């Protein structure tokens, strides 16, 4: 009988920022705010860890009931 190798387990953490792939050399889908083509709603200041957007004027308190901030836009 021939033994078959099991595939490596996939990472258990997932990014809610919409990045595709790992951190090895991918330049598309980054979280930098350079130029146009932003994928967040107008006026949103942060993306929360639960996928909702925050419109808080200051970083303090943004996403406080949504698991914290994933990405600040301003």
pLDDT digits (tens, 9 = 90+) for 33-42: 444 556 889 9
Give the per-residue pLDDT at 25.
Answer: 47
Report d(CA 71, CA 57) in Å as an integer: 15
Give the per-residue pLDDT at 74.
Answer: 81
Residues of the chain with pLDDT below 70 are 1-38
% residues pLDDT > 70 (the chain): 49
Quote the pTM value.
0.48
Give the per-residue pLDDT at 43.
Answer: 94
The residues, any chain, with a CB within 8 Å of residue 25's CB and separated by 6 or more, are none
Among 37, 38, 63, 39, which Cα is nearest to 52's?
63
DSSP state of 60: T
């Amino acid at each position: 009988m021939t033994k078959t190798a099991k595939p490596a387990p996939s990472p258990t953490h997932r990014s809610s920022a919409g990045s595709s792939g790992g951190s090895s050399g991918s330049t598309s889908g980054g979280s930098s705010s350079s130029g146009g083509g932003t994928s967040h709603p107008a006026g949103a200041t942060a993306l929360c860890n639960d996928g909702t957007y925050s419109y808080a004027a200051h970083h303090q308190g943004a996403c406080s009931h949504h698991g914290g901030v994933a990405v600040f836009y301003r």
